[in-house]
Chain A
Amino acid sequence: MAATASANSLTSTFLPRQGVYGSSHQSIQLRTQKFARKAGSGTITAKFELQPPPYPMDALEPHMSSRTFEFHWGKHHRAYVDNLNKQINGTELDGKTLEDLILVTYNKGAPLPAFNNAAQAWNHQFFWESMKPNGGGEPSGELLELINRDFGSYDTFVKEFKAAAATQFGSGWAWLAYKPEEKKLAVVKTPNAENPLVLGYTPLLTIDVWEHAYYLDFQNRRPDYISIFMEKLVSWEAVSSRLKAATA
C-alpha cells in the first residue's frame, strides 16, 4: 500500500496562479513532486506532473484555438512529462528539480537522453504562463524601461523578437531573456529543446515555434502566428514578475 508523502513545493520563477482559477497562491508553485513510498521496499520515486495552463483551454480563442491546446498541451506536453518520468525513474536523476535536471542533462552541450524531455516539459509550462486571455498590449514600469534601454525602443524589441521567431529554422523557440552577468535584456533563439537556462540566462518570455504550436491554426503562416502572439496573447504581467524575481 503506497503512502503518499505531502507534496514538496518548489519555488521557481513562474508567476503565481491567480484569476481564472480563483485564489492566488502565496508561494510560487509550478511543479508538485509527489513522493510515493512503497511499503516494504523503501523506494522513493519522484514524479513530475503535467500542470494545466493557468486558464481554460478555450480562453485564448480565437487567437489560439482550444483544439490546438487539446493537442499541444494534451498530447505533446503530456508526452514530454510522461516520457521524462519513465526515463528518470529509478536513476540518479530521480528526485532532482526540473531546472537542475535540465542543466545536468544538458551536459555542457553533449546532452544526455533525458535532456529533450526535461527541457521540453519546462519550456511548455513556461510558454503557457507567458500567455493570458486578453493579453498583448505593451509592457510598463521597470520592464519597459529596461526594454527601452537595451533595445532602443519597444518597437525595435518587437521587431527583433519577431525576426528571431521567424528565422529559427526548423523547430525551436524564441526568447526574451535577462543576462545576469551583463544585467541586460536580450532576444535569443534556440533550436529544438534548448532554452536560455543552459546559457546561464534567465528566461522572461517565450514563443514556441515548433510547427505543432501553430499548424492547426495557421498552417505555414508562422509570421501571422508570431504577430498574433505579440498583439493578443503575451502576458506582460508574467514577464514583469519574472524580471522582478531575476533582478531582486
Chain B
Amino acid sequence: MTNPEMDAQVHFTDIKKHFNSYTLTSRMNWVLATYEGIALMILYFKLRSTKAPTVKAT
C-alpha cells in the first residue's frame, strides 16, 4: 500500500510538499495536524466553558 518509490515520483511545491495524501511524511503530517486540531478545539471549548460567567440567583 505505501510505496517509498512514490516519494521520488511525486513532485509537490510549497505547502503541498509537506501536506499531500501521497508521500509517507505528508500523510504523517496530516494525521498529526488533525490530532492537534482536535486537541486545540477541545482546549478552546473547555476554556470557554470555564470563562463563561455563571448566572447568580436573586
A and B found bound together = no
